[in-house]
Amino acid sequence: MRHFAIIGSGPAGFYTAEALAKAFGDAARIDIIDKLPVPYGLIRFGVAPDHQSIKAVSKRYDKVADDPQVRFVGNVAVGEAVSVEELRGLYDAVILATGAPHDRPLGIPGEDLANVVGSAAFVGWYNGHPDFADLAPKLDGANAVIIGNGNVALDVARILSKTRAEFAGSDIVGHAIDALDESGVKSITFLGRRGPHQIAMTPKELGELGHLAEAVPAVDPDDFPPLVEDEALDPGMRKSVAHLRAFAGGPPDGTKPKTLAFDFFAKPLGIEGDERVERVLVERTQLDGARAVGTGETYAIPADLVVSCIGYSSPHIVGVPYDEDGGKYRNDHGQIDDGLYCVGWARRGPSGTIGTNRPDGYEVAEQVEGAMPPGSDGGKAGGDALDALLTTRGVRSTSFDDWRTIEAAEVAAARPDSPREKFVRHHDWLKVLGH
């Protein structure tokens, strides 16, 4: 019997479990270990609450969890309750699927001012992650600045712009929708160092900005290269740029109270304010090939809230070599060391879509299988030994059946227009289980 431990229950973790189960059949026992009592990682805490169709991929993960070879072991923080080295002693292979939950720093003066937050924190706040339930960003000011030109920046802007009625059908948490309902934000500015042809925004998400009830997007027509240059873009990027060109069709007509302004060729130099953010100092840039270089021209943008959406990094783990520049674990096509692997953002850095993690997980599973040919030595103790170790340390893990109990309670507690009301604290989850 082969025993495998996967650290992290997001998309990369579940796809890897699926691949290992197919590769080893009945000869495998696979534990998906997560520090939270509930599964799904990025699907639950990262995907925007108004994108329920994307969250539906969790139904596929449910089927993986129902496989008798696979077990969810929640409420176990690797690095605290148990170390990676201990897990390596218990399992034939350990696969890190931790994702990249930490915000990359801006690296500019003033980023520590009040109401300057990273997107992992802000998204975690409105998605009900327990680490950010108490973030309480101040939304009383009129001006918000979002640094970054990717899909997360779009999510943040859309959430800040929507009316309460537009959240119908979403699972945004109660504390966030109540705060957003009282928000004073009227102007949202995207800052991007380069131009419209260099954005990382996909067409569907970008197009949503054109259908908001009270907000209108605006782009300066002078920021675009000649129209003929769009023809060299790949089809997806061409569609995204077409949306931006449509947004640049004319100035907002004043019928909607909120504006979403794209400020391209804008590099943030610093954030200023007296204790709380008041403005962002920006340098105008220009393209030198694919690089954005400063022109020396500077200006200030009013800002009562700044959300940085410039990328993420994986957590440092004792004994696991780390690539500081990439914000991921050092690996060779997913292998870190004998019996130690990584998948998803922990392997590649924060790039790609949810679906990108599937071939990634299958590739690493193939490597694991190749390192353990039939007849080779196995015999690690696996999950039974982990359970015994956790018991001695007073750690009470949660199972997938426990998750279903929690899920049923969240559904029962839902607002009339929501599929669930997420619990956002450990003690609330465990209380449902009678712990």
**Is 135 in a helix, a strand, or coil?**
coil
- CB count within 10 Å of CB 75 equals 23
Confidence at 254, pLDDT banded by 50, 70, 90 = confident
Mean pLDDT of 342-364: 91
- The DSSP H or E segment spanning 267 is strand 266-272
Q: What is the mean pLDDT of the chain?
A: 95
Q: Is there a contact between 198 and 192 (Cβ–Cβ < 8 Å)?
A: yes
The pLDDT value given to residue 376 = 59
The pLDDT value given to residue 275 = 87
CATH architecture for segment(s) 2-101+313-432: 3-Layer(aba) Sandwich (3.40)
pLDDT at position 208 over 80: yes
- The DSSP H or E segment spanning 23 is helix 11-24
Asked if the domains at 2-101+313-432 and 105-308 fall in one CATH topology, the answer is no
Mean pLDDT of 45-53: 95
What pTM did the predictor assign?
0.94
* Terminal-to-terminal C-alpha distance of the chain: 33
- CB count within 10 Å of CB 367 equals 17
CATH of domain 105-308: 3.50.50.60
Tokens 């990273």 locate to 118
Q: How far is CA 17 from CA 36, 247, 402, in A?
A: 18, 43, 19
Question: Rounded to whole angstroms, how far apart are CA atoms 410 and 389?
Answer: 31
**Is 417 in a helix, a strand, or coil?**
coil
The pLDDT tens digits for 368-380 are 999 986 655 667 9
Close Cβ partners of 412 (under 8 Å, ≥ 6 residues apart) = none
Question: Rounded to whole angstroms, how far apart are CA atoms 135 and 78?
Answer: 24
Question: Rounded to whole angstroms, how far apart are CA atoms 218 and 225?
Answer: 17
The pLDDT value given to residue 379 = 74
Residue extents of the structural domains in the chain: 2-101+313-432, 105-308
- Token representation of residue 264: 């391209």
The pLDDT tens digits for 381-426 are 999 999 999 999 999 999 999 999 999 999 999 999 999 999 999 9
